[in-house]
Structure 1
Amino acid sequence: FQMSIESPTQVRSLLVLSLHALSQNLQDGIVYLTNECKQKLLEICASHRLLADPLCVSYVSLPRFGLNLTTVKFFASDELTDSVLFALTEYNKNLRYICLVDCPKITDVGVQSLTADQSQLEVLELRAMPGITGDAFHKVRADHLKTLDISACTKIQSLRSILGWNRRVSRLCINSCSGLDDQAFYDIAFYLGEHLVVLEMDFFHRLSEPVETISHLSQNCPNLSSLSLIRFFHQDVMGEEPSEMVRDCHIEDWNLRSVDLYENYFTEFPLLPASIQAISISLSGNEHLPSLVSALSAPFLTSISIKLYAKEDSATSLNNANRLLTTLCEKVGEKIASLQIAVYHLYDDALQLITENLPNLKHFVLRSIHANNRAIQKWFNVGANGNRLRTLKISGMRVSYRALFSIARGARALRDFEMQNMRAMDDRVLSILAENCRQLSTIDVNGCTHVTDRGLQALARRCPLREIYIRGTAATDATLYSLARFCPNLEIISFQDATRRPGFSTKAIDALQKSCIQRVLC
């Protein structure tokens, strides 16, 4: 008995047929089904609201169904309940990977039943789970647990329980955990210590004593190599200048290899650890250039991600921002891997240096009113640096037809492409893009009124689309049926602007949702 659960047409019907066949013919041999097949069936059940179906319940509740499962993964399921998790793991204590994302009906009881006696667990991800608290982790006892991600779990107020019993966690992600305070970081330092390598979080600026807390953490976690300090040195945090906080933290003495300094704006850039290899920074154009260039010239630093935001449209602000770009492209251009620019006018000399002096640039975002179309067109000629871009997003300016054609022909490595409100964007450009960019997974053509079914269907047939944004286009139901047929892994589709364009029928939307493996967010 063989089946293909990734058929691009009518996955829900295939699932029902498969469940009937399994329940009637394979109950005795269900333990021999592969872990991957079982997980895919569970994923489809959750995505298509079948977890409450009596047939699915009886199938999942079989004692031996979960016997050889090593992975449990559910995303955005409002049908997943504690009882389903209990049935899956009552006879299975071999889980290595658990991932639950945005499952509102799961409570502490469900997580406890899922994690009880799972001694081989290596990865535990519980993200955006509104129903769980710190009590959910009382039964997590895993000597091999290396990754813990509880991002956006706002009701968790303490990490002492889970870290006290699992001291070998090396990667900890606690972004947007607003219930945690300074004590959580003292617990991290005490229980994890030298085992902690990566810490992802974004709320240091909300701590009562941020400088003392981060200093204590760095002293007790000597192997911490990756850290997020988003908004940490913002001058509004404690009324101090950022430079004073930097001196108090002694960031240059840490053994970091990667640091995220987004949304920190320094006049004089701080010294960085000699071991630094990757850095993410925000700039405004008002920085002291010699100190900035000196810091970014660190010998082991090989990857720089930059967000440049000129806060004012004045001539001075524009000149400073463009001069900064010119200097960085000349001095450290080979290190820049990601560049996001928001400036009213990008000068020709700065744009030319971006297109010529950044050979390792992979991600480029431009929010500007004025920029040179000829430079953009030349950037994507055969053999030019633009051919290596994986992300390209341009908005605000009018990109010429010639420049769009050059992008469609030359940007063969693109995976994420955004051109909003472009009058020149049409089906011919999208057809060429589909022919050349076979790895494209995200496309955003919101507000491109000349885009119709022809171009979007070409993308659906040739590209493994996961996200598509088509508000304000001339698409019809034909686009949805093509997506349903050729893009089974589609996850997000955004349509209908303020004028309710384009308008799709309920039948077409339903067909798309039933035909995709995962639940499509509309």
Structure 2
Amino acid sequence: MGQGTSSVACAGSGQQQAQGEYQEVDQNKIQGKDFTLQVPDECLSCIFEKLSSVDRKSCSLVCKRWHWVEGQGRQRLSLFAQENLLTALSKLLSRFEHVTKLALKCDKKLTSVDDKALFIIGRDCRQLKKLKLKGCKQLTDDGMEIFARVCGPLKKISCGSCGFGARGLNSVLQHCLNLEDLTVKRLKGLYEGPSELIRPGCGKIRRLCLKELYNAQLFGPLLAGSKHLNTLMLSKNSGNWDNLLDIITEHLPELVELHMEKLQLSDGGLQSVARCKNLEVLYVLKAPECTNAGLSAVATGCRRLRKLHVDGWKAGRVGDEGLLSVARACKDLQELVLIGLNATVISFSPLATSCHGLERLALCNSDTFGDPELSCIAEKCQSLKKLCIKSCPISDQGMEVLATGFPNLIKVKIKKCRDVTSASVDWLQTNRKSLIVTLDDALPSTTTDLPRAVQPGTHRAPRGSTPQNRSPLAKARLAIVAGGSFVACTLLRWSSTSGSGSSSPAGA
């Protein structure tokens, strides 16, 4: 009895204690006590970092403490750089004093901030490491020079459609001693005034991107003087690049990644690129003047290639001969993208055999990559994980090999291949359930030339027609062939009656 009495007493005391705590919490709610005050500022800042931009802005308006913590924890800031931003810029930056990445963007039709705003940013953002300027046409060379002298440990700068030119860039390269990444795009100031060469400055640039520049040849001294350049991206720049590449490649021993898109480039330029023995990533896009000889030279000289993208723009100058050189020399190839190249089994067979580590393969706009080529690589590409085929003459019969070939294949994307239907994709998903298959712009399946397990359910449209541009009458007839449903028959009767002059389906 004594033990029972004590246990009951303990239970009663526990209930009283819980009830007392509940009443205390309830009393705190009544008194309006803020339990978030017990959360340290560091934890609250981590919570804000997990929120979206909209939710984070809303939370900053809850109270003064949240407003301060959110501002102190923000490292990325994007501002609409219209001219009226100048009036509030100092107070804004005093709140976000720990910003490391800042973007200033202005519409081309509006007046942007001027040099004074750029000076305030350089003075107040002492931890700024990345700066992006877009559409700031009111910025001048003088403003960039002042900014470069007062800014903090800036490592990356990107400028597009801005008003300054060569002198402003040279000031940044000279005074920003930690600068490693530079992107220049459509820089308006380069076209005005006397041509000034872009010098290497402190020579610490590791990544350089030049895009849509009329006189990108001015960057020659910068290219040749950047001994530590690791990544170079050249896109849609005018001028003859064969001669410039011949000069700069001798001075780029650490170049690992090179992108060249829509340049005046020929085999001479590719032969210069072949000097870069440490090159691992190469993009040669929309270069119709390049031939098998240029690709062979690159393959022979750059034997460490891991990624190779070639877009011949259907000029017919790159094919089996160039790819055979790649197969013989580039044993470490992991990613291969071929666009507009007419290659056949002659090159795909040794390519699949030699490149044992090939994991990603994309073939686009090729008139010669068909079912035999797909069967060839399916048997020999043991390491392939991702396959993309676009606008190639493969068919449903060729899709059969995907069910048994490519043992490590994870994802397949088929796009704009006219002879591949949705029925073959359904059959492939049934027979290889672990494979992710994406089919875009597919035509309905035919009753012939399908795998045996496929059950045709729709009628094949003639070449040139797609499901999106069929007339209502054609859709109705297609539905009748597919299933012969009562609704489809009714639609067909309505369409026929309307064509013969009836006023409405109800009157038919």
Match of 1:328 in 2: 377
Of structures 1 and 2, the one scoring higher in RCO (CA 8 A, sep 6+) is 1
CA contact (8 A) 1:51 1:57 kept: no
Match of 1:34 in 2: 98
Tell me, yes or no, if structure 1 residue 119 matches structure 2 residue 177: yes
Tell me, yes or no, if structure 1 residue 349 matches structure 2 residue 397: yes
Shift of 1:131: 4.3
Report the AA paired with residue 292 of structure 1: F
TM-score for both structures, normalised by structure 2: 0.59
Report the AA paired with residue 227 of structure 1: L
Report the AA paired with residue 220 of structure 2: R
Shift of 1:167: 1.7
Matches within 5 A, 1:350-369: 350-354=398-402, 357-358=405-406, 359-360=408-409, 362=411, 364-369=413-418
Report the AA paired with residue 52 of structure 1: S
Match of 1:301 in 2: 357
Relative to structure 1, the CA distance from residue 9 to residue 103 in structure 2 (aligned partners, 3 Å threshold; closer, same or farther) is farther
Report the AA paired with residue 328 of structure 1: I
Identical amino acids, percent of aligned pairs = 11
Q: What SS does the corresponding residue of 1:397 show, helix, strand or coil?
A: coil
Matches within 5 A, 1:177-196: 177-192=237-252, 194-196=253-255
CA contact (8 A) 2:258 2:281 kept: yes
TM-score for both structures, normalised by structure 1: 0.57
Match of 1:103 in 2: 161
Counterpart-to-counterpart distance in 2, 1:188 and 1:213: 11
CA contact (8 A) 1:130 1:155 kept: no
Q: What SS does the corresponding residue of 1:352 show, helix, strand or coil?
A: helix
Which 5+ residue runs of structure 1 have no aligned equivalent?
312-316, 401-420, 425-522
Q: What SS does the corresponding residue of 1:173 show, helix, strand or coil?
A: strand
Shift of 1:137: 6.0
Report the AA paired with residue 342 of structure 1: S
Shift of 1:172: 1.2
Match of 1:256 in 2: 304
Counterpart-to-counterpart distance in 2, 1:68 and 1:250: 42
Shift of 1:123: 0.8
Relative to structure 1, the CA distance from residue 185 to residue 137 in structure 2 (aligned partners, 3 Å threshold; closer, same or farther) is same
Deviations 1:237-280 (A, max 9, x none): 48xxx556666x37335323233233264244422224432343
Shift of 1:163: 2.7
Q: What SS does the corresponding residue of 1:199 show, helix, strand or coil?
A: strand
Match of 1:270 in 2: 324
Shift of 1:97: 0.7
Counterpart-to-counterpart distance in 1, 2:55 and 2:445: 35
Counterpart-to-counterpart distance in 2, 1:163 and 1:244: 26
CA contact (8 A) 2:209 2:232 kept: yes
Matches within 5 A, 1:450-489: none
Report the AA paired with residue 228 of structure 1: Y
Counterpart selection for 2:274 from 218, 221, 227: 218
Match of 1:439 in 2: none
Counterpart-to-counterpart distance in 1, 2:392 and 2:97: 56
Q: What SS does the corresponding residue of 1:270 show, helix, strand or coil?
A: helix
Relative to structure 1, the CA distance from residue 301 to residue 57 in structure 2 (aligned partners, 3 Å threshold; closer, same or farther) is same
Tell me, yes or no, if structure 1 residue 46 matches structure 2 residue 106: yes
Counterpart-to-counterpart distance in 2, 1:157 and 1:361: 44
CA contact (8 A) 2:340 2:366 kept: yes
Match of 2:423 in 1: 374
Count of residue correspondences: 370
Shift of 1:361: 5.1
Match of 1:485 in 2: none
Tell me, yes or no, if structure 1 residue 395 matches structure 2 residue 444: no
Whose Rg is larger? Answer: 2
Deviations 1:319-357 (A, max 9, x none): x7222222222322642634132146x422322334664
Tell me, yes or no, if structure 1 residue 92 matches structure 2 residue 145: no
CA contact (8 A) 1:153 1:177 kept: yes
Counterpart-to-counterpart distance in 2, 1:328 and 1:288: 11
Per mean C-alpha deviation after superposition, the further-off stretch among 280-289 and 295-304 is 280-289
Tell me, yes or no, if structure 1 residue 65 matches structure 2 residue 121: no
CA contact (8 A) 1:158 1:180 kept: no
Counterpart-to-counterpart distance in 2, 1:356 and 1:136: 61
Deviations 1:94-150 (A, max 9, x none): 2101122x4253433443344341111111111343543796763542343211111
Q: What SS does the corresponding residue of 2:332 show, helix, strand or coil?
A: coil
CA contact (8 A) 1:78 1:104 kept: yes
Report the AA paired with residue 282 of structure 2: L
Counterpart-to-counterpart distance in 2, 1:47 and 1:253: 45
CA contact (8 A) 1:265 1:283 kept: no
Counterpart-to-counterpart distance in 1, 2:310 and 2:443: 29
Q: What SS does the corresponding residue of 1:271 show, helix, strand or coil?
A: helix
CA contact (8 A) 1:67 1:91 kept: no
Q: What SS does the corresponding residue of 1:61 show, helix, strand or coil?
A: helix
Q: What SS does the corresponding residue of 1:329 show, helix, strand or coil?
A: helix
Relative to structure 1, the CA distance from residue 307 to residue 385 in structure 2 (aligned partners, 3 Å threshold; closer, same or farther) is same
CA contact (8 A) 1:159 1:187 kept: no
Q: What SS does the corresponding residue of 1:335 show, helix, strand or coil?
A: coil
Q: What SS does the corresponding residue of 2:214 show, helix, strand or coil?
A: coil
Report the AA paired with residue 326 of structure 1: S
Counterpart selection for 1:200 from 249, 256, 259: 259
